[in-house]
């Protein structure tokens, strides 16, 4: 994986942790009390934060086909990231850890897997022309 791809995933993960740790008092209150089709907006946000996860695998690997074992490892790493970003809130006094938020994070990673066939062509188009193997 080249430096550019490592930088992109690093920035994505850092943004997730900033969102998890930053005290968004006013925004958080509004999101907790706003519903969209009887689903709290806060939970929709949690899900959306993890939607790009599986598509990153195609972009970062620069392969047009990825083995199932590689997809499973990437999926499990996404679940671990989802757990860590929510679990870290357990140790802060100004954010709250809730199982529903954790479930929303897991839902985002899982929907990312389910929607992977939609994202795959886009990721392949973003690859440098003629690329089918990883660049070092």
pLDDT at 1 over 60: no
Q: Which of 27-31, 77-81, 93-97, 102-106 has the lowest mean pLDDT?
A: 27-31
Q: What is the pTM of this model?
A: 0.76
Q: What does the chain come to in residues?
A: 136
- Residue 105: band (very low, low, confident or very high) from pLDDT cuts 50, 70, 90: very high
pLDDT of residue 26: 58
pLDDT at 54 over 60: yes
Residues near 32 by beta carbon (within 8 Å), at least 6 away in sequence: 40, 41, 42
| pLDDT tens profile 5-21 | 788 889 999 999 998 88
pLDDT of residue 116: 80
pLDDT of residue 25: 63
Q: Which of 68-72, 109-113, 119-123, 128-132 has the highest mean pLDDT?
A: 109-113
The span from the CA of 56 to the CA of 112, in Å, is: 10
Per-residue pLDDT averaged across 80-104, rounded?
88
pLDDT of residue 97: 78
Phi first, then psi, for residue 99 (nearest 5°) are: -65, -30
Torsion angle, alpha carbons of 3, 119, 107, 40, to 10 = 100
């Amino acid at each position: 994986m080249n430096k550019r791809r490592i930088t992109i995933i690093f920035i994505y993960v850092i943004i997730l942790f900033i969102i998890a740790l930053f005290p968004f008092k006013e925004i958080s209150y509004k999101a907790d009390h706003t519903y969209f089709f009887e689903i709290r907006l806060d939970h929709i946000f949690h899900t959306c934060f993890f939607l790009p996860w599986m598509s990153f695998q195609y972009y970062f690997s620069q392969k047009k086909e990825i083995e199932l074992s590689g997809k499973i490892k990437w999926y499990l790493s996404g679940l671990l990231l989802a757990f860590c970003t929510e679990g870290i809130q357990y140790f802060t006094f100004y954010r709250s850890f809730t199982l529903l938020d954790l479930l929303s994070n897991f839902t985002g990673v899982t929907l990312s897997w389910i929607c992977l066939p939609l994202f795959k062509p886009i990721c392949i188009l973003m690859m440098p022309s003629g690329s089918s193997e990883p660049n070092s």
